[in-house]
Amino acid sequence: MHHRQDPLPPPAVNPLHRSRQQQVLVLGGGLMGLAVAHGLARHGWSVHLLRCVRREAAGFAAAGMLAPHAEGLGGPLLTLAQRSLRMIPAWVGAVEEDSGLPCGWLPCGTVAPFTSEAQRQAFPTAALGHPLDRAALETEAPGISPAFICGLLFPQDGQLDSRRRLMAALERACRRRGVYFEEGVVERLCWDEDGSGHRHLVGLALRTDDGARRQLPCGQAVLCCGAWSQQLLPQVPVTPVKGQMFSVQAPRQALRRVLFGPGTYLVPRQDGLVVVGATTEQVGFTPGLTPMGQSRLEQGLRQLLPAATRWPPMERWYGFRPCTGDQQPVLGPGPLAGLVMATGHHRNGVLLAAVTAELTRVVLEADPGGCHNTSWVAPFLHAFRWNRFSPAPAQASLRQA
């Protein structure tokens, strides 16, 4: 794909100073915040992005699998993920066009291996993959452990190099589209209440990097705070799930497909780097790598692809996934009129970024009566609504203006 190398335009003007465009604040500058901001800016919105840079955010740590079928997703989440997967080529093209940088998209397919034929037949998405016997499995994943006797190939799956490529490309694309970036922490949302008892967003309290505090008026905002979402909205149950990972350098073309094993996955980049992941740890925001976590990954690698244990180690890191009680995202209108949710994507943030950006724009541009001209969003707004977990959430994190 051709990548434009023209010089960057002048710095963006604060969108809150533009009067003739629709204006929105995006809260969070990780993967989802950047994807939402870029999508809105491409459609003429004036976007002000508030962020506290966290390198342990999921987008900076993710392996970037586009593997809804290999993960065995089901129900509305599978439907949403399949829609996003179909959007990936055009979405990546737009980001690369606007940024002049590659996103590391590779439609390489995914292999899911099994230790028995019964496991393969019982896999939720088995009907959507190509069955592999042992010989075919060895062809698709040379050197795979003899414990695996069959598998499924999902050629429609793929990957994005989120850590090394996509995040940088998205930020550059946002800046070139005029998104205004500001560093700081949103401490509180402010609301007002009409005579009918309906609450609507009117602003937020911001603490900037230099320690200054100020009130920022806004009537529309998108919450994209990932694993940190509950710090702003305690009534939305998004909690951090820590994942440790490492990478090894394989001989070029030693592994062509993503290999999605039980408890361990391998994601091969085009330059031979292979990402190995990932642990799942309920430890809050406890930072750092642990010997136990790294040992689990090494054991998983040995059980899946023994030869890979001899490949030189390159890098080790960790991040925090934003997880809900049902491991599905929180999307659409939030607890305040004017607040839209785009969080809780757990391990599927890279996969769902394209469709989340589009769904968020549709919600923001919809008339008060709903999304009758964009009927595709309605089932997702119901399935992934913020209050599906509790019939009567508290408002502890919100302050009346």
pLDDT tens digit string along 13-45?
A: 443 444 446 999 999 999 999 999 999 999 999
- Using the predicted structure, report yes or no on whether residue 78 has a pLDDT greater than 50: yes
Query: Which sign, positive or negative, has the C-alpha torsion 303, 304, 307, 309?
Result: negative
Tally of CA atoms within 13 A in the half-sphere of 159 that contains its CB: 28
What is the domain partition of the chain in residue ranges? 21-64+165-238+326-400, 105-159+240-323
Residues listed for the chain: 401
pLDDT of residue 34: 98
pLDDT of residue 24: 98
- Using the predicted structure, report yes or no on whether residue 4 has a pLDDT greater than 60: no
The lowest-confidence range among 9-13, 38-42, 122-126, 354-358 is: 9-13
Integer Cα distance of 285 and 319 in angstroms: 9
pLDDT of residue 54: 80
The band of 369, judged by pLDDT with boundaries at 50, 70 and 90, is very low
Q: Write the pLDDT tens digit of every residue in 272-321.
A: 999 999 999 999 999 999 999 999 999 999 999 999 999 999 999 999 99
Q: What is the mean pLDDT of residues 92-108?
A: 98
Cβ contacts of residue 392 below 8 Å, gap of 6+?
Answer: none
Residue type, 32: M
Please tell me the pTM assigned to this model.
Answer: 0.91
Q: In this structure, are residues 347 and 242 in contact, taking their beta carbons and an 8 Å threshold?
A: no
Q: Write the pLDDT tens digit of every residue in 377-395.
A: 999 999 999 999 875 444 4
- Using the predicted structure, report yes or no on whether residue 159 has a pLDDT greater than 50: yes
Q: In this structure, are residues 102 and 96 in contact, taking their beta carbons and an 8 Å threshold?
A: yes
Phi, psi of 197 (to 5 degrees): 85, 5
Integer Cα distance of 169 and 101 in angstroms: 5
Query: What CATH number should be reported for the domain whose range is 105-159+240-323?
Result: 3.30.9.10
Q: Which CATH superfamily is domain 21-64+165-238+326-400 in?
A: FAD/NAD(P)-binding domain (3.50.50.60)
- Using the predicted structure, report yes or no on whether residue 1 has a pLDDT greater than 70: no
With H, G, I as helix, E, B as strand and everything else as coil, classify residue 234.
coil
Supply the DSSP symbol for 270: T
Q: Write the pLDDT tens digit of every residue in 181-232.
A: 999 999 999 999 887 888 999 999 999 888 899 999 999 999 999 999 999 9
pLDDT of residue 196: 82
